[in-house]
Amino acid sequence: MSSDSTADGKFGEYGGQYVPEALMPAIEELRDAYERYVLENEDGFMDEFRERLRDFGGRPTPLQHAEHLSDRYGREIYLKREDLLHGGAHKLNNALGQVLLAKYMGKERIVAETGAGQHGTATAMAAAHLDMPCEIYMGETDIGRQRPNVFRMRINGAELNPVTAGRGTLKEAISETMRDWATNVDDTHYVVGSVVGPAPFPEMVREFQSVISEEARKQSREKFGTLPDSVVACAGGGSNTMGAFARFVDDEDVNLLAVEAGGSSLAVDEEEGVAPNSASLSTGGQGVLHGARTKVLQDEWGQIVESHSVSAGLDYAGVGPELAHLVDEDRVDAVNVGDDAALEAFHRLSQEEGIIPALESAHALAFLEQVLGPAADGDDEAADDLGDRIVVNLSGRGDKDLETVIEETDKRDIPNAPDMSEFAGGL
């Protein structure tokens, strides 16, 4: 089953282009450029993109056998190491592709939004690399919890525009960037950071990210002679997910699992309803957000509800339309884990494998523990679905999350966290 979009940018009933009239010429210009340069490799665009991904980005990233996790779960666990990509997350695949495309289109200015700061950082790096002026919009809540990336963006020469509207997270940052783009369409390209937004963004971002599954497919064959039984990835907007799944979608025997942020663990309170979360695939309904019809967190009136996750990169009320469609078609399973489980998984990978994961990626790892760990929830069907050889997309590294982890670990009862209190104020 291929989920390639049609010319109108629809994935089943999702997707489309719900944008102000003023943006339509820019979107049509982008669609044309995407088809010529990316799909048809006009002027050798894709050759240059791949060369830069290799020499600047450090691709291919390894597919690593995680020995200790494999022992713990009695399955063979492989990590697709996107944390080792330049900048520390999968985001560079897309940012580099879009900034290069903007150059080919003759654009002179880049704008982008960022949540966890990883996409902003990757865009700032790609813009410096390709000599383009760059402005990043970031919500003030995220500026507070992802400070290392704020400094990285500035150091790479990007201007940073704080967004104070709403909760000051990704949703508001995207809205502000759309506004900037609508005002400056002639010379500006908006580097959308996930498989969201109006067509052709969801499809184009998936194509730039699909290098993950293209490599993982080949590396699986080299490492264990066949394809994996399952691929597991965390889902915020869903770009690492779609990147990790894209080249496996037609392999019906490979199970694809998207792990959303259950936030406060989806506990249902009699009065308050479902606790705050970011699991739009599992708990959302159909609505329009940021130019596309998709699954969104909304109230009974169709108003977008504030999302919550301990991880800034998953803290979003929507999800990519293609992923929503694949879930409806039962090609992808949507599951979720909560904040505490993600924090535990963060510490587990750090201690057992010597890899500090991004809090986003820790959600994918936490799902393994939920289904296969010593205190597994006894869901035999989920355990069967995972099979013997499991590829987990390690979408990023956790350096950006250290402050949040120290603070949150201190507030909660995370059983496997080291005691850091004696070092809190320095020695």
Chain residues binding ligand PLP by CB under 6 A are: 89, 115-116, 118-119, 194, 234-241, 313-314, 358, 360-361, 395-396
Q: Is 395 a catalytic residue?
A: yes
Distance in Å, CB of 174 to ligand PLP, minimum:
12
Distance in Å, CB of 219 to ligand PLP, minimum:
20
Structure letter (DSSP) for residue 273: E
Closer of 103 and 145 to ligand PLP (Cβ): 145
Closer of 53 and 116 to ligand PLP (Cβ): 116
Which residue among 113, 207, 260, 344 is the active-site one? 113
Q: Is 113 a catalytic residue?
A: yes
State how far the Cα of 279 lies from the Cα of 268, in Å rounded to an integer.
14
Strands 159-163 and 188-190: unpaired
Which residue among 10, 80, 91, 171 is the active-site one? 91
Q: Which residue has the tokens 């002179």?
A: 108
Closer of 9 and 120 to ligand PLP (Cβ): 120
Closer of 103 and 152 to ligand PLP (Cβ): 152
Distance in Å, CB of 341 to ligand PLP, minimum:
16
**8 Å CB contact between 220 and 78:** yes
Which residue among 210, 220, 278, 395 is the active-site one? 395
Closer of 103 and 115 to ligand PLP (Cβ): 115
DSSP string, 64-110: EE-HHHHHHHTSEEEEEEGGGSTTSBTHHHHHHHHHHHHHHTT--EE
**8 Å CB contact between 127 and 155:** no
**8 Å CB contact between 318 and 117:** no
Distance in Å, CB of 27 to ligand PLP, minimum:
20
**8 Å CB contact between 237 and 318:** yes
State how far the Cα of 368 lies from the Cα of 335, in Å rounded to an integer.
11
Q: Is 51 a catalytic residue?
A: no
Nearest to 405 by CA among 395, 396, 414: 414
Distance in Å, CB of 170 to ligand PLP, minimum:
8
Q: Which sequence positions are flagged as catalytic?
A: 91, 113, 395
